[in-house]
Amino acid sequence: MDKHLIPRGLKRSPFGRFSLWILLWAAILAIGLYAMYLCLYEGLNQTNMDNRYAFGLWIYLDLTVIALGAGAFFTGFLLYILRRDELRAVINSAVVLGFICYSGAIVVLMVDVGQPLRAWFTFWHPNVHSMLTEVTFCLTCYLTVLAIEYTPILLKSRKLSQIPSFLVFEHELHKAMVVLAGVGTFLSFFHQGSLGGMFGVMRGRPFAFREAFSIWPTTFFLFVLSAAAVGPSFVIVSTWLVSKLSRKTLVKKEVYILLAKISGVLLLVYVFLKAIDTIVWINSTAPSTGFSAFEFYVRQEFGTWILFTEIVLLGLLPAWMLLNKKRQQTLSWVVTAAFLACAGVVLNRFVTTIQTLALPTLPFDQFLSYVPSWQEVATFAAVIAYGVLIYSLSFRYMKLFPQERELAVSPHPSSE
């Protein structure tokens, strides 16, 4: 039915099955949109956040998807600036993922603030000392960059590429990719960092507060590095997932291995710096604010096991796995390692947002718990559904993996 839209030489599932898949996710999206409507119309009393748990599931989601979406800027940086041409095989997919992650995060942020119509105040009356100002500026600018990077992929689709002027435009855009990749890297560096900085500057929250290195708290650098480290890992996991779901080989094994190496090296550096940061925090930063670091971990739910899991099980272990030369050849090994690396960052963002707010600072205050309302969960699910929909449509109708056609003819060219 839609055969004339599918890129030449590529095989896609029957239209009926694809429609069912789309309908399923569209239903989740619809429920989420209703939840968003409730939050915007009735107010944020629809959530389970409160004056003490001022940030909840949504801020956690924003920090997480933006970290995972870092694959877009970092792959672009490696491909266009450092000229790792092998990565052309995944760049389109990474750009689409980045676009989904960033646009999703911004939509959720607009539901999360109490007066979304006042969001432009940040651009008009910015407080230049606020980390959130920088995040707002960079996020919006970078989403624009991602939209421009997404355009050529769209223009190269089968129908649109029949219009000659579009092809010319696409060609011209392509020439600008180096500049866009550079701008994207610059913007990403700062907002990834500022998201970490947002929590690192919170003097009133000794669990999150970190000493400044230059003008930024150490979490600024740790967030940049962790995002850059898991970006490629997320590209591995997502590519593998798409290839499993579509039952196709999409990229050569070498590409997975290269991504694994890059991710592994960066993760190793990150884990090393994170360990140093934690030691300094335990011995100096936390005590100077009147708290013994280990007192933050007295509650079993949030015990030191989290710290161990984050740094060792989901940091050092996947870094070693990703860099293991022998096992790298096994795809399942690489994917497992990449998955663990992503889980590490997901946990880190959880600790930074949720655990920080759960801990009391006043001596007579209580340890807090918070469970998101169905409206919060549905909004969260809507972002995932939105992502799946955009990605599914892009995968079906655009050329996300340039190697796919070649691999369809001879599925294992790399084994020779």
Partner 1 sequence: MDTEPGKYRYGMAIDLDRCTGCGACMVACAVENNVHPAQPRATERTGITWLRVFKVENGEPFPQNRAAFVPMPCQHCDKETPCISVCPQNAVEMDQQTRIVTQVPVRCMGCRYCMAACPYHTRYFNWWDPKWPAGMEKTLNPAVAPRTRGVVEKCNFCHGRLQAARAKAAAAGQRELQQGTYIPACVEACPTSAITFGDLADENSEVAKLARDENSFRFLTRLRTEPKVYYRSTQPFVRQLAESALERLKKEAANG
Q: Summarize as ranges the residues that interact with partner 1 (CB under 8 A).
A: 43-45, 49-55, 112-116, 118-119, 121-122, 124-127, 129-133, 136, 198, 201-206, 288-291, 295-296, 298-300, 356-357, 359-367
CB-based contact 65:412 (threshold 8 Å):
no
Question: What are the angstrom distances between the C-alpha of 271 and each of 208, 222, 308, 346, 352?
Answer: 18, 9, 12, 15, 16
| Residue with smaller CB distance to partner 1, 63 or 407 | 63
Both tokens assigned to 226: 């962790």
The least distance separating partner 1 from the CB of residue 355, rounded to whole angstroms, comes to 12
The least distance separating partner 1 from the CB of residue 116, rounded to whole angstroms, comes to 7
CB-based contact 70:138 (threshold 8 Å):
no
CB atoms within 10 A of CB 188: 29
Sign (positive or negative) of CA dihedral 286, 291, 297, 302: negative
| Residue with smaller CB distance to partner 1, 74 or 296 | 296
CB-based contact 7:399 (threshold 8 Å):
yes
| Residue with smaller CB distance to partner 1, 200 or 344 | 200
| Residue with smaller CB distance to partner 1, 77 or 281 | 281
Tally DSSP H helices, then E strands, for the chain. Answer: 17, 2
- Give 369's DSSP letter: -
The least distance separating partner 1 from the CB of residue 135, rounded to whole angstroms, comes to 8
Distance CA 115, CA 102 (A): 20
The least distance separating partner 1 from the CB of residue 110, rounded to whole angstroms, comes to 10
The least distance separating partner 1 from the CB of residue 380, rounded to whole angstroms, comes to 18
| Residue with smaller CB distance to partner 1, 224 or 357 | 357
Query: What's the farthest any 2 CA atoms get from each other in the chain?
Result: 70
Pairing verdict, β 216-217 and 212-213? antiparallel
The least distance separating partner 1 from the CB of residue 41, rounded to whole angstroms, comes to 11
Distance CA 109, CA 49 (A): 14
The least distance separating partner 1 from the CB of residue 223, rounded to whole angstroms, comes to 16
